[in-house]
Structures are given as C-alpha cells and as structure tokens.
Amino acid sequence: MDSKYRDGALAILAGGGLIVVTMILKTEFNINTGLTATVFTLWPAIIGLCGMIAIELICLYNPELTKAIWNRRSVQFGSLMTVVIAGGLTLLSGIQWIIATLLWGLLGYLLLLIAVIVLGTNPLSQLSFSQDWTRDRPKL
C-alpha cells in the first residue's frame, strides 16, 4: 500500500477511534462530554491545525529518518493507540478541548494528504528546509 494511503487510513482510524471512545464514555459511563460544542470553537481548531503543520515541518527536516521510523508497524500502531487512549483519558478528566484539537489536527492531516495526492508534492515542503539545506546554498 502506498504510504500516503496508509497514512490517510491511519488518520481516519485515529479519528474514528476518538469518536468511538467518546461515544462509549458518554453512553456507558454517562460522561457529559459537550464535545460537539467544543469541536466547533476557534481555539481547538487553530491549535490542532498549527500543531499538525509544526509536526509535518519537523518531519520534513530529515525525511529519510522520519520515513525509517514511521515505516515500522510498531510505531504506527503505538501512535494510533496513543492518540485514542490520550483522547479517552482527557475526556475522563473533563478536558474536551484536547480531543477537539486532536480531531482538528487529524482532519488537517487528511487535507494535507489529499493535497499531496493531487499536487504530487507536499505543499509544506516550500516552508521547510531539510537537514542539508546548506549544501544547496551558494558559496560566498
């Protein structure tokens, strides 16, 4: 499977997992999440989208190392489980804005993947520089 599609599927699974955990906690444990109102507020959206961009720029700094680490199934599974478990724990703690932030970050990542598929390149790569950025710089 192409890595773009695999990453998109993982993002959808993580977002779906967050929604399922929210529904389970709301129905089984009678936790009033108020998540619907929180998701549609401005600050969780800004934090989630800016966080996704920051993580992507960090990963673009050394893409070979990022790819080597991310291609491990244990890292992919561990990341998925961390997002879902952290989201559930924040709901139990009554901190709804964190799960809303995670959902916005995942949505932003899905939109970025769609842009990569359509454009053939990562549009955020224009904003970043790689670890060997001095190699391409003209000598003075």
Least confident segment among 28-32, 108-112, 131-135: 131-135
Q: How confident is the model at residue 19 (pLDDT cuts 50, 70, 90)?
A: confident
Least confident segment among 22-26, 119-123, 126-130: 126-130
Q: What mean pLDDT do residues 52-76 have?
A: 90
pLDDT at residue 136, as a whole number: 52
Least confident segment among 28-32, 86-90, 107-111, 133-137: 133-137
**Residue partners of 112: CB distance under 8 A and separation at least 6:** 52, 56, 122, 123, 124
Any long-range contacts for 35-40 (C-beta under 8 Å, 24+ apart)?
35/91, 35/96, 35/99, 35/100, 38/96, 38/97, 38/99, 38/100, 39/100, 39/103, 39/104
What is the pLDDT of the chain when averaged over all its residues? Answer: 83
Q: How confident is the model at residue 123 (pLDDT cuts 50, 70, 90)?
A: confident
Q: Break the chain into its structural domains and give their ranges.
A: 3-32+40-123
- Measured N-to-C along each axis, helices 42-61 and 96-119 cross at an angle, to the nearest 10 degrees, of 50
pTM for the full model?
0.81
Q: What mean pLDDT do residues 48-61 have?
A: 91
